[in-house]
Amino acid sequence: MYQAKAYSVASATAPFTSDTVQRRETTQRDVRIEILFCGVCHSDLHTVRDEWSSIMPTTYPCIPGHEIVGRVTKVGTAVTKFKKDDLVGVGCMVDSDHTCPNCSDGLEQFCPGGTFTYNSPDKHLGGVTYGGYSESIVVDERFVLNIPANLDPAGVAPLLCAGITTYSPIHRWGDLKGKKVGIVGLGGLGHMGVKFARAFGAHVVVFTTSPGKKEDALRLGAHEVIISSNAEEMRAQAGTFNFILDTIAAHHDINAYINMLGRDGNITLVGAPETPLQVSAFALLFGRKSLSGSLIGGIAETQEMLDFCGEHNITSDVEIIPIQKINEAYERLLKSEVKYRFSIDMASLKAE
Ligand code: NAP
Ligand code: ZN
C-alpha cells in the first residue's frame, strides 16, 4: 500500500479538508494513474451530503470523483492495453464480476457485483473505494479508457460521466436526424446532451430555469431555448417532441415535460433527485408516451463515446479550479451557476 494526497469530507455536513488515502500496490492487472484532472459531478454532491441515503448510504470519510483523466505511472505484469505515460481515463466504475449477463452484454454498470469508483465496497483493501479528488488511483485495466490525443485533458475529464450518461440514451434512441429532441437542464450533463444531440443531427431545444444561459445554449448547439417558467413558451411546444432527456438534479414537475412529447415520444430520466417524482398516468396514456431511465454506460460504449468525441472534437466546457476551491464550487453547483462543469486541476494538490 502507499499513501496519496486527497480531499475528503468527514460527514454529510462537513466541508472538504486535506487528507490522505491508502491505495493498493499494483496487482498484475492494475494500472496506477497520476490524476491530472477530475470533473465535479452533481452525483459527487448528492453522495457527499448523503442525499441518496435510502438507496446508497454514504460511508465517511468520503472521497468522491468519477471523472478522472491522468497519466499512467506504473502497470502490472499482466497489463496489455496500457503502458507508462499513456493518457487515460476512469469513470464511475472500477470493477465488476465479469460473469453476469449484464457484464456479458457490455453493461457493467448493472452488474450486481460491480464496484463504483467511490463509496462502494473495496474488494482489495476492505472498507469502501475512494475516488478522484486525489493525486493518484490504482484501477484494473479493464476499467481504464484510452483518451484521444487531440482533446484537451481538462475538458475530457467530464466525458467520463457527464459524457457517457448523455451519449448513451441519445445514441440508443436511434436515428435522430430531423427529430425534435429536448434537453432539460443546462448543467454538466445537459450541456453535453446538447452537443451530442446536435452531433447526431437532431433539432435541439433546451429547457432551462436560467434566462442567463440562453446565449450559451445556442452557442453550444441548441436551435431553440425555452425558459421553463414562461407558460406561453411552454404551451407553444406542447406535444411536439420525439425524445426528451431530463437532467434536472432537484425535485421538479416531470409532467410538464411529458406534456411536451408527441405520440409515442419518450422521456428519459438521467437526473437523480433525492425525492420521488410524481407522474400523472394521464400524461403518459394520451399519446402512448413512455418514461425511462438510464445509468452511465458500459465500458465499451464509454470508449466508443470517447472515440466519437475525438473524431468530432467534442469536449466539455469547463471552469478549471484548484482543489482548494472545492467547497465554494459545491455551493455554486447548487445554485446552477456552473458553466458548465468544474474540472479540478490536481496539480493544485501537490502544494498541500
Ligand atoms: P448540474 O451541473 O448541477 O446540472 C443540473 C441542472 O439542472 C442545473 O444546471 C439546472 O439547469 C437544472 N436545475 C437545477 N435545479 C433545478 C430545479 N430545482 N428545477 C429545475 N431545474 C433545475 O448537475 P449534473 O452534474 O449535470 O447532474 C444532473 C443530475 O444527473 C444529478 O442528479 C446527478 O446526480 C445525475 N447524474 C445521473 C447519472 C446517471 O447515470 N443517470 C450520471 C451523472 C449524474 P438550468 O439552470 O438550465 O435550469
Ligand atoms: Zn457523475
CA of 134 to the centre of ligand 1 (A): 24
Atom of ligand 1 nearest to the CA of 273: 32
Is the beta carbon of 295 within 6 A of some atom in ligand 1? yes
Q: Which residues pair with 138 in a beta bridge?
A: 32
CA of 126 to the centre of ligand 2 (A): 23
Peptide bond connecting 118 to the previous residue in cis, omega within 30 degrees of 0: no
For residue 166, is it within any domain?
yes
Phi-psi map region of 306: left, alpha, beta (phi>0 left; psi -120 to 50 alpha): alpha
45 and 109 in a common domain: yes
Is the beta carbon of 270 within 6 A of some atom in ligand 1? yes
For residue 94, is it within any domain?
yes
Give the separation between CA 264 and CA 74, rounded to whole angstroms: 51
- DSSP character at residue 58: P
100 and 39 in a common domain: yes
For residue 17, is it within any domain?
yes
Average pLDDT over residues 241-248: 98
Half-sphere exposure of 41 (CA within 13 A, CB side): 34
145 and 48 in a common domain: yes
Mutate to test the pocket of ligand 1, among 189, 208, 234 (most ligand atoms within 8 A of CB): 189
What pLDDT band is residue 352 in, cutting at 50, 70 and 90?
A: confident
For residue 300, is it within any domain?
no
Question: In terms of Cα–Cα distance, which of 231, 188, 193 is closest to 329?
Answer: 188
Those residues whose C-beta lies under 8 Å from the C-beta of residue 171, and which sit 6 or more positions away, are 196, 200, 301, 305
Atom of ligand 1 nearest to the CA of 269: 41
CA of 43 to the centre of ligand 1 (A): 9
274-287 pLDDT per residue, tens: 999 999 999 999 99
For residue 209, is it within any domain?
yes
Q: Which amino acid is at 266?
A: N
9-67 pLDDT per residue, tens: 999 999 999 999 999 999 999 999 999 999 999 999 999 999 999 999 999 999 999 99
For residue 266, is it within any domain?
yes
150 and 13 in a common domain: yes
Is the beta carbon of 333 within 6 A of some atom in ligand 1? yes
Residues 160, 164, 167: CA angle, nearest 5 degrees: 150
212-235 pLDDT per residue, tens: 999 999 999 999 999 999 999 999
308-342 pLDDT per residue, tens: 999 999 999 999 999 999 999 999 999 999 999 99
How many domains is the chain partitioned into structurally? 2
62-106 pLDDT per residue, tens: 999 999 999 999 999 999 999 999 999 999 999 999 999 999 999
For residue 298, is it within any domain?
no
Those residues whose C-beta lies under 8 Å from the C-beta of residue 303, and which sit 6 or more positions away, are 145, 146
Atom of ligand 1 nearest to the CA of 249: 32
What pLDDT band is residue 351 in, cutting at 50, 70 and 90?
A: confident
CATH number, domain containing residue 269 = 3.40.50.720
Residue finishing a domain among 293, 308, 332: 293
Residue 190 pLDDT > 90, yes or no?
yes
CATH number, domain containing residue 13 = 3.90.180.10
Is the beta carbon of 209 within 6 A of some atom in ligand 1? yes
285 and 166 in a common domain: yes
138 and 7 in a common domain: yes
For residue 333, is it within any domain?
yes
155 and 166 in a common domain: no
Mean pLDDT, all residues of the chain: 98
178 and 156 in a common domain: no
166 and 150 in a common domain: no
117-161 pLDDT per residue, tens: 999 999 999 999 999 999 999 999 999 999 999 999 999 999 999
Mutate to test the pocket of ligand 1, among 248, 268, 337 (most ligand atoms within 8 A of CB): 248
Is the beta carbon of 110 within 6 A of some atom in ligand 1? no
152 and 185 in a common domain: no
CA-nearest residue for atom 22, ligand 1, is 248
Three-state DSSP state, 88: strand
CA-nearest residue for atom 44, ligand 1, is 43
Which pLDDT score is estimated for 140?
A: 98
- DSSP character at residue 14: P
Is the beta carbon of 165 within 6 A of some atom in ligand 1? yes
321 and 197 in a common domain: no
54: domain range? 2-160+317-351
CA of 214 to the centre of ligand 1 (A): 17
250 and 218 in a common domain: yes
Alpha helix stretches (DSSP H) within the chain: 42-48, 101-104, 153-156, 162-172, 188-199, 214-220, 231-237, 255-258, 281-285, 299-312, 326-334
**What one-character-per-residue DSSP string does 266-300 give?**
EEEE----SSPPP--HHHHHTTT-EEEE--S--HH
CA-nearest residue for atom 35, ligand 1, is 271
Give the separation between CA 50 and CA 329, rounded to whole angstroms: 18
**Full-model pTM:** 0.98
